[in-house]
Amino acid sequence: MSTEGLRERKKRAMRQQLSDAAAHMFLEQGYDAMRVADVAEACGVSEKTVFNYFPSKEALVLDRLEPTADALRTYLADPAIPPVAAMLKVLDDELQGISANLITTEAVTRYQRFGDLIHATPSLRAYQSDVAERFADVAAEVLASRFGLEPEDPEPQVAAAALLGLWKIQFRALRTHLRPGQPIQDAIDAAAADVERAAGLIEAGLATLPSRAKQVTKAG
Contacting residues for 91 by C-beta, under 8 A, at least 6 apart: 166, 167, 170, 195
Euclidean distance between CA atoms 182 and 28, whole angstroms:
24
* pLDDT level of residue 1 (50, 70, 90 thresholds): very low
pTM: 0.81
* pLDDT level of residue 61 (50, 70, 90 thresholds): confident
Q: Environment class of residue 178 by beta-carbon count within 10 Å: exposed (0-12), middle (13-18) or buried (19+)?
A: buried
> Residue range 168-193: average pLDDT?
89
Predicted confidence at residue 106, as pLDDT, reads 86
Predicted confidence at residue 99, as pLDDT, reads 87
> Residue range 183-197: average pLDDT?
93
Helices 122-147 and 105-120, axial angle in degrees (round to 10): 90
Is residue 159's pLDDT more than 90? Answer: yes
Specify the CATH number of the domain 63-219.
1.10.357.10
Among 91, 95, 97, residue whose Cα is nearest residue 72: 91
> Percent of the chain scored above 70 by pLDDT?
92
Predicted confidence at residue 101, as pLDDT, reads 84
Predicted confidence at residue 218, as pLDDT, reads 60
pLDDT tens digits for range 108-147: 888 888 889 998 999 999 998 998 899 999 999 999 999 9
Domain covering 2-56: architecture: Orthogonal Bundle (1.10)
- Sign of the Cα torsion 145, 84, 168, 107 reads negative
Euclidean distance between CA atoms 18 and 60, whole angstroms:
8
Segments making up each domain of the chain, as ranges:
2-56, 63-219
DSSP string covering 74-124: HHHT-TTS-HHHHHHHHHHHHHHHHHHH--SHHHHHHHHHHHHHHHH-HHH
Lowest mean pLDDT among 2-11, 83-92, 115-124, 158-167: 2-11
> Percent of the chain scored above 90 by pLDDT?
60
Note whether 54 and 60 are within 8 A (CB).
yes
pLDDT tens digits for range 77-91: 999 999 999 999 999
Note whether 159 and 140 are within 8 A (CB).
yes
